[in-house]
Amino acid sequence: MTTETQPPITKILVINSFPANGNAGLKMVMSVLGTHVIPVPTLLLSGIGNMPGFQRFTIPFAKLLDSTLTLARQNGQSLVVYVGYLGGADQAEVIADAIIHLWHHLLTIADLVLPNFTETALLTGVREDIVPENAETYLSAFRELYPAPDCIVTGIRSGDQVINRWVRADTGAVTDFAHPYYPRYFSGTGDLFASVVIRFLCLENQLIRHAIENAGQVLETFIRHSVEAGRADLLITPELPHLSTNTTNA
Per-residue pLDDT of the chain (250 residues; tens, 9 = 90+): 444 566 778 999 999 999 999 999 999 999 999 999 999 999 999 998 778 899 999 999 999 999 999 999 999 999 999 999 888 878 888 887 776 644 346 788 889 999 998 888 888 888 788 888 888 899 999 999 889 999 999 999 889 999 999 999 999 999 999 999 998 888 899 999 999 999 999 999 999 999 999 999 999 999 998 999 898 888 776 554 555 544 444 3
Is the CB of residue 20 less than 8 Å from the CB of residue 45?
Answer: yes
Residue 155's Cβ-side half-sphere holds a number of Cα atoms within 13 Å equal to 25
The pLDDT score that the predictor gives to residue 104 is 45
Is the CB of residue 62 less than 8 Å from the CB of residue 95?
Answer: no
Residue 148 backbone phi and psi in degrees, to 5: -70, -50
The pLDDT score that the predictor gives to residue 9 is 87
Is the CB of residue 114 less than 8 Å from the CB of residue 46?
Answer: no
CA dihedral sign of residues 86, 91, 96, 102: positive
Residue 28's Cβ-side half-sphere holds a number of Cα atoms within 13 Å equal to 28
Could you tell me the pTM of the whole model? 0.85
Sheet containing strand 56-57, edge to edge, reads 56-57, 37-47, 10-21, 78-83
β-bridge mates for residue 79, sequence order: 11
